[in-house]
A and B are shown apart, each in its own frame.
Chain A
Amino acid sequence: MTESRILPSGQTRIDSLEMRGITKRFPGVLANSKVDFDVKAGEVHALLGENGAGKSTLMKILYGLYHPDEGEVLIDGKPVSIDSPNDSIKLGIGMIHQHFMLVQTLTVAENVALGLPSSRGPLTDLDRVSKRILELADIYGLKIDPSAYIWQLSVGQQQRVEIIKALYRGAALLILDEPTAVLTPQEVKEFFIIMNQMVRDGHAIIFISHKLHEVVEISHRVSVLRDGHLMGTRPTSEITKQDLANWMVGREVGFAPDRGVVERGEVRLELENVTCGTDRGTPGLRGVSLEIAGGEILGVAGVSGNGQRELAETITGLRKVTGGKVLLEGQDVTNLPPAELTERNLSYIPEERMKDGMIKDFSVAENMVLREHQKTPYSRYGFLDLGAIARHSDALIAKFHVKTPSRETHAKNLSGGNIQKIVIARELFRNPRVLIAAQPTRGLDIGATEYVRQQIIEQRKAGVAVMLISEDLDEILALSDRIAVLYEGRVMDIVPRDQATPEKLGLLMAGVAQDLSCEPAK
């Protein structure tokens, strides 16, 4: 028995790791509530959940980045205290982050050695490090050249470097935080082979993802977190994608505001086969066609990173369209600058309100006129009319119930909900023809969320064509007339409201195009 407890890398394996009754509170948020989670040697345990469900918090506790308010961590039955990543590394836990922690201008060996003491004291021991890397690479089938520079490597290869880095530091248990998010399908396949090999050798792996098919393919057990609560843990063999989709989105649509009856007007926004790139230069949209009519909310669902950001930015003029056309009220507005689109009454609630929607060192008043600061009455002959700006912002503060000490307060001092209210006030007061709302309630508390949703409903009633991009399926289902599902830059399908179920959308989000009945039983 003692013999078999040694992993091929020479490290002692972790037979079991258990997290018991983990509770973690942040001001105003219960991130984890009495979560029990465990993983054993030789298994992949998938941790599933929507954004903000508490997956990252739980793993950061395990990796020593956060300290739990309640609960304990046991390794092989013995309680351990993990106060820093150093502690967790010493215990044999390795974490591979979604965004790689590699220095681009250094070699593989240099990256692996980074932060570790050299066996030669003040002198480097890169030759020894390289030798060890090759040993590990050989054992685990990770082809890698220790002398290659990181910038020369593909994303998949960089991920291997991260794995080697963890193994080099003696990881017996690996936490993989959405490891496939950045990989191509081929790279995912190779990656799964490596994962299987490691598990066979006795490693334990925690696999965080929200891609259902991957979870079903690779994991032995799966746990689902929702709103910080553990919904349950089950063997993967006993569960289907439908079950998982159910579990993840699960509960009946809680908050369904009264949408009222609105007549569908004329088409106001039309996309014809639109393509564009991402910031990384990969394809973002691969031919998206859709239309939205006045008085209609088109929900855009999808797992994050499947083209939502690109979709919003191409329509609003912030990203270059490389093919196809965008039509606003019948007129071609492809690649017009944002100012021109504002002029045509297109409003935009951006996904990252602090980055794109707000200047945090500007006052509330200055932010209120961000989109129209150059127009009368806010500017006259090149001079700002501070009086007009003040009156305008006071009116909006009152009308949209923004809680701020004064209009001169810097935006950075307000809460997320109030910042979003400023954005909404600025975008909605001028009665837009088309509204693009990207993740409008992300990170907001219940009250603010309700408020924002109500505002979107009001726009629909006023005959505005609304595109609601959201990762919150409940929100999409509660508000939309039709729902488009984005997957890898394409519209998988557009489902009318009355035919949309979380299960159906969940499958579409996972890239499964067939009817439920046609789905081969797992």
Chain B
Amino acid sequence: MRSRLNSLIDALMPVLATLAALAVGAVMLLVLEVNPIQAYAALWDGAFGSSNAMAETLVKATPLLLVALGICIAFRGDVTNIGGEGQMIIGALLATWVGLTFTSLPGWVVVSLALLAGFLGGAVWGGIPGFLKAYFNVNEILSTVMMNAIAVQLMNFLLRGPMIDPAQAQLASKIPQTARLLEIFRLPRVGTTRLHLGALLAVGLAILVYILLWRTTLGYRIRAVGQNPHAARYAGINVKRYMVLALLLSGAFAGLAGAVQVFGVNYRMITDGSASGFTGSAGFNGIVAALFGQLHPLWSIPASILFGALLVGANKMQRVVQVPSALVIALNGLVVVFVVSSEIWRRRRQKRRLADEPASKPGPDASAPAKVTP
């Protein structure tokens, strides 16, 4: 009975954390002399109020989900990937290059090749920190963040020089962007909305990642290494290799997210000099979505939709109640902080419960007093 209640609380924890974040946001809205109910109504309306709004929410959710899938793999393998931003950029650059280069091939071939290129680009960008961690003991949190910086500058360089739109190269203004993709290379959309095939692809991949983690030898090994590297080694698993693989696969999904952004939404790459200018911070928010989904690929689907909704709805809220855009960013940040904190809290609760369990088994008396003490 107690364990059932506990698991229910665990499952609802991210939702409670989101509500708590919105409550704090409400205080901030009150300080700005805005009616929070009106504001949140606008937020809801913006995210789910019309078919177009819902489509936008899904469009925003797609890269979040793809990144989150990679995060599920990495975190299950006990490696941390903070490099989603850089991996998205590299994936997008490679995919764009494919799309702009092989213009004479059939559309579906180029799209497939481009998405594959994005996948591989991200894999390389995630694999490098994985390799450095496994064989040179370089902290992967640091190296993935550093790889983000490298990717941004590489993007800025390429989009200003070698990959710049030939039309822009003629102009004095020289907007740093690539040429547009041919129309036949664009991912199909639903009706007049911007919802594209990439969303369906992401959901399909979520199922595949679930199968990968729990139904394949590879997934078994990644999880074994993540849970207990000592036992994994004893089981004959090459721990270092699977550490690299976990980060590599994680990067690959982020790279694919970047490719899908280009082929499904933007149709070209353009830079304002920052990473988030291209990614919309999906490389970071995807981590939150994955944690929100308890690092489970299927639970990451609703989690990504929720964050997509927050992003889209916040825009509407900003327009309707006239709050500064900084508040919208703060609100997002609040949700992230609350969810991540709740995750840490959840783990601690779990640990405490584990610590209680062996003691509570032999004697019926042991568990009760142990739990009552505050």
- Assembly CA distance A361 to B357 (angstroms): 14
Q: Is the CB of A371 within 8 A of B361?
A: no
A461 on the B face (CB < 8 A): no
Count the A-B residue pairs with Cβ separation under 8 angstroms: how many? 73
Could you tell me if A360 and B235 are in contact, using CB atoms closer than 8 angstroms? no
Q: How far is the CA of A339 from the CA of B237 in the complex (A)?
A: 7
Q: Quick check: is B366 within 8 A (CB to CB) of the other chain?
A: yes
Say yes or no for B173: interface residue by CB 8 A criterion.
Answer: no
Most B CB contacts (10 A, CB to CB) among A318, A358, A359, A370 go to: A359
**Do residues B216 and A382 form an inter-chain contact, with CB atoms below 8 A?**
yes
Considering only CB atoms, which chain A residue lies closest to B234 in the complex?
A356
Name the distance in Å between A365's Cβ and chain B's nearest Cβ. 11
A338 to B217, CA, bound (A): 18
- The residue in chain B whose Cβ has the minimal distance to the Cβ of A27 is B362
- Residues of chain B within 8 A of A339, CB atoms compared: 236-237
Q: State whether A359 and B228 are in contact (beta carbons under 8 Å apart), knowing that A318-B234, A338-B234, A373-B235 are contacts in the complex.
A: yes
Which residues, 355 to 408 on A, are CB-close (under 8 Å) to B? 355-362, 366, 370-371, 373-374, 379, 382-384, 386
Q: A356-B230, A384-B215, A384-B220 are in contact. Are A27 and B359 (CB under 8 A)?
A: yes
Instruction: Check B231 for interface membership: any CB of A closer than 8 A.
Output: yes
B191 part of interface (Cβ distance < 8 Å): no
The contact of B231 among A340, A370, A374, A384, by CB within 8 Å, is A370
Whether A415 is near chain B, meaning CB under 8 Å from some CB there, is: yes
Q: Is A412 at the interface (CB under 8 A from chain B)? A: yes
Mark out the residues of chain A between 395 and 431 whose CB falls within 8 Å of any chain B CB in the assembled complex: 412-413, 415
Instruction: Tell me the bound Cα distance from A465 to B215 in angstroms.
Output: 36
Please determine whether A384 and B216 come into contact, CB atoms closer than 8 angstroms.
yes
Say yes or no for A337: interface residue by CB 8 A criterion. yes
Are A338's CB and B216's CB within 8 A?
Answer: no
Taking a contact as CB atoms under 8 Å apart, the answer to whether B361 and A27 are in contact is yes
Tell me which residues from 329 to 371 in chain B have a Cβ below 8 Å from any Cβ of chain A: 354, 357, 359, 361-363, 366
A383 touches B231 (CB 8 A): no
Q: What 1/0 flags go to B178-222 for Cβ under 8 Å of A?
A: 000000000000000000000000000000000000011110110
Q: Counting chain A CB atoms within 10 Å of each CB, which of B218, B231, B359 scores highest?
A: B231
List chain A residues, Cβ under 8 A from B155. none
CB pair A383–B235 under 8 Å, yes or no, is no
Are A383's CB and B216's CB within 8 A?
yes
Query: Does B233 count as interface, using CB distance less than 8 angstroms?
Result: yes
Could you tell me if A360 and B230 are in contact, using CB atoms closer than 8 angstroms? Answer: no
Report the separation of the CA atoms of residues A355 and B228 in the bound assembly, to the nearest whole angstrom: 7
Known interface pairs A339-B236, A384-B215; A355-B220 also in contact (CB < 8 Å) = no
A371 touches B227 (CB 8 A): no
Known interface pairs A373-B217, A384-B215; A338-B361 also in contact (CB < 8 Å):
no
Query: Is A348 located at the chain interface by the 8 A CB criterion?
Result: yes
**Separation in Å of the A519 CB from the closest CB of chain B?**
41
Subset of 22 A-B contacts with CB under 8 Å: A27-B359, A28-B362, A318-B233, A337-B236, A338-B235, A348-B234, A355-B231, A356-B234, A358-B228, A359-B232, A362-B223, A366-B220, A371-B235, A371-B236, A374-B236, A382-B216, A382-B218, A383-B215, A384-B216, A384-B217, A412-B357, A415-B361
Q: A338-B236, A361-B227 are in contact. List 12 more A-B contacts (CB 8 A).
A: A27-B359, A359-B228, A362-B223, A370-B231, A373-B220, A374-B217, A374-B236, A382-B216, A382-B218, A383-B216, A384-B215, A412-B354
